[in-house]
Amino acid sequence: MLSIEPALVGVAATGLLAAAAVGSGALTRWAGVVATVFGIVIVVAGGFPYLALLVLFVAASVLATRYAFDEKKRRKLQEGTAGERGVSNVVAHIVLPTALVLGTTLLYGTGASPAVLPLLFTAALSFGAADTFASEFGVLSGEAYSILSMRRVEPGTNGGVSVLGTLWAFTGAATTAVLGWALFWVFHTNQLAADFAVPAALIAGFLGCQVDSLLGALLENRGWLTKGSTNFLGMLSSIVFALLLFRGLGNLL
């Protein structure tokens, strides 16, 4: 947990970044408020590397969302009306990372957090990047297939996958895994070695993205889940995958 002066800097930085996101049209006003509240909890309880990775994830998501936006809008596959993210989207992607940091702080106090926390946090955002990249770039693919039946479906269909989307999912997961480890290393945060942490976060995030697609095909298409709840469960699965990798392999390396 940050001391008073760094915490005040973190609070101010979070507020300014959220205001910039709202001002640029990346977030709706209320989504910006939600992001500010959760972001403040993350930076005060966890520290600056957690906030920095979250900011990089949001920035990458905005760029992916706005890529070829006119084409997405023409095909009615765009996010929001102008690429903005609403409250449900923000909540789905920020609740679990916040819970990880806050829960660990409450359990361990202001002392050093366990080395697995940066891995789990990175895995959660690795999923977020994989899911966003797969969706925003994958819808531009000329073809998509149901992850269940492999029958051809319209791009943008829940549970639809494509070669392009899968490659971008891997890219998003891999980039986040590397950036996450680098940020925690720069800020001297207690964490696992790179030769385990990076591939573990990558694998967990990528697999979580596939779980998201499965849930979309099985449950969201039937109206049993919303897009936000599907994203939430997909991110939760990525955290579980990372924890299983840590329990199974982390102590052997």
**Averaged over 24-31, what is the pLDDT?**
91
Indicate whether 186 pLDDT > 60.
yes
The 10s digit of each residue's pLDDT in 36-86 is: 999 999 999 999 999 999 999 999 999 999 898 888 888 887 777 777 888
pLDDT greater than 80 at residue 115: yes
Q: Is the pLDDT of residue 126 over 90?
A: yes
pLDDT for 112: 60
Q: What residues contact 218, with CB distance under 8 A and at least 6 apart? A: 148, 159
Residue 252 scores a pLDDT above 60: no
Distance, in Å, from the CA atom of 126 to the CA atom of 120, rounded to the nearest integer, reads 10
d(CA 117, CA 84): 30
pLDDT of residue 110: 61
Mean pLDDT across the chain: 91
Q: Measured in whole angstroms, how far is the alpha carbon of residue 123 from the centre of its chain?
A: 8
Residue 249 above 80 pLDDT? no
**With the CA atoms of 42, 44, 45 and 46 taken in that order, what torsion angle do they form, in degrees rounded to the nearest 10?**
70
pLDDT of 121 higher than 60: yes
